[in-house]
Structure 1
Amino acid sequence: MRKAHNYLGLILFVQIGLWFLSGLVMALLPIDEVRGNHLKNSITTSWHKAAFSPSDILSEHSSSASLSLTYRVNTSQSSLDAIPVYYVVDGDNAYRYSALTGERLNALQEKAVRKAATKQYAGDGDIVEAQRLDELPQEVQNLSAPLWQVSFNDELNTRFYIDPNTGSVSRVRTDTWRLFDFMWMLHIMDYKDRSNFNTPWLIAFSGSAFLFTLTGVALLYKRFKPKKKKR
């Protein structure tokens, strides 16, 4: 048992140290700062200004079409607000209509995306680059393409990932988030997607760490158990 405990300790000491270190770092980082909420202004939508009803919009589509409510950042005004939008799915096609004018809306282009990003940005940097992504990087791999990536030159290297249909920020990524994500990768031992809790590495090392603990408890009991008194 002592041999097993020693060899398990040699094998596990690096990963156990990484588990404690990564857990400590993730516990120290405020989750709102990790998500970048402090860098993003909230958006409000006024539906009471809608001049067109859902029936007006659906009258142009088939009877099987479905309608839902959404919005789009208003890039024509200096204040941060959004116009109400009807989102219609008709078969394999999707359409967006302004509830104020009834006109069909197309995806936002770079100039409008930059305006939407500037309005929603609460930091102290400036936009250095805006590009439309059809293949998404690892830091937003769970979202759907296309997205606009807008980069700022602040101290956190902030990036906004903006939906081209709504103009809203889908995700905020900063160096704080990237540090948290790296520690998360070390913690769950998923070095590819950083989202899988069932990797063979994690299962093997967790089982070995549990066995290491059991052998340690057994050795402690063997050492400190009370001795029987001789008559």
Structure 2
Amino acid sequence: MARMARRVARVHKTVGLVAGFLLLSWTASGLFFSLYPIETIRGDPWRPDIQHGNLSEMLVPVSAQDVLEQTEGSIAHIELKAFLDDPVWMVEVDGARKMIDASSGDVRSPISQDDVNALIARFGEKPDGLGSLSVSYLIHENPLREYAGPLPVWVIEYEPGKQRIYIDATSGDVRAVRTTRWRIFDVLWRFHILDVTGDDRFDSWWLKLAAFLGLTMVFSGLVLGVDRIRKGRLFS
């Protein structure tokens, strides 16, 4: 029994070196997660509330039926909305989205640099911490990891810290706000779930191995505790 206890103690100490480091990192990352509301991490305080025109006061020369007749393919969804001061039709056809000007019938997407400048002008009062406007550019493919929304997308970048607002180039809607705090959260979250692929998977073998090591440390500790109780020297 004494020999088994020594072996269990050796396993407990060896596994504890690895599992203890993981537990420390999980606790530290969990502490960061608890420090800020998730709304702050997502950038909601910096998300602009863009005011478009009043749709009910706009003339709509191009009807939904006109759009249906001039559009090739299978339309899954069509919706009238206001974009800046113009009425537009948002159409989803054959899995793709596009914006059609409800005044002229012309395709308006992706929105232009002038449209983006007009949207920025309607951002309103800029909250503290966003920085100064640096640059805006359009991405058609291969976006940064921090953005997983639809493409193409306009990126509005602020300095310092490369705080970014992502605007859907098809609809003009704000899709995401990414700040330094979000990026720290993302790195810690990947480490928290041992995501080595960047796919946000909760069933990776790394996480399963870490959980197994943690259980091994706990059970070996219980065995050692029972052995000490049996010998009457639990606290010695």
**Bin for the TM-score computed over the shorter chain:** 0.7 to 0.9
Which residue pairs with 2:159 in the alignment? 153
Q: Does the aligned pair in 2 maintain the 1:54–1:67 contact within 8 Å?
A: no
1:170 aligned to 2:175?
A: yes
Check 1:63–1:34 CA distance in 2 against 1; reply closer, same or farther (3 A cut): closer
Deviation at 1:115, TM superposition (A): 3.0
Question: What do residues 124-171 of structure 1 show as CA deviations (whole Å, max 9, x unaligned)?
Answer: 53311112123201111x2233212111125x5420111112222211
Q: In the alignment, which of 3, 13, 16 is matched to residue 6 of structure 1?
A: 13
Contact map agreement 1:2 1:219 (CA 8 A) in 2: yes
- Contact 1:57 1:102 (C-alpha < 8 Å) held by counterparts: no
Structure-1 residue corresponding to 2:195: 190
Q: 1:123 aligns with which of 102, 105, 127?
A: 127
SS at structure 2 position matched to 1:151: strand
Structure 1 segments unaligned to the other structure (5+ residues): 77-82
Tell me the matched-pair count: 217
**Are the structure 2 counterparts of residues 73 and 173 from structure 1 closer, same or farther at C-alpha, using a change threshold of 3 Å?**
farther
Gaps of 5+ in 2: 1-7
TM superposition shift of 1:44: 5.5
5 Å-filtered alignment, 1:55-66, equals 55-61=65-71, 64-66=74-76
Give the Cα–Cα distance (whole angstroms) in 2 for the partners of residues 119 and 26 of structure 1.
32
Assess, with a 3 A threshold, how the Cα gap between structure 1 residues 144 and 29 changes in structure 2: closer, same or farther: same
TM norm structure 1: 0.80
**Secondary structure of residue in 2 paired with 1:120:** coil
The answer to whether the 8 Å contact 1:5/1:215 transfers is yes
Structure 2 CA distance for aligned equivalents of residues 219 and 24 of structure 1: 30
RMSD, aligned CA: 2.7
* Bigger shift: residues 86-95 or 203-212: 86-95
Percent of matched pairs sharing the same residue: 23
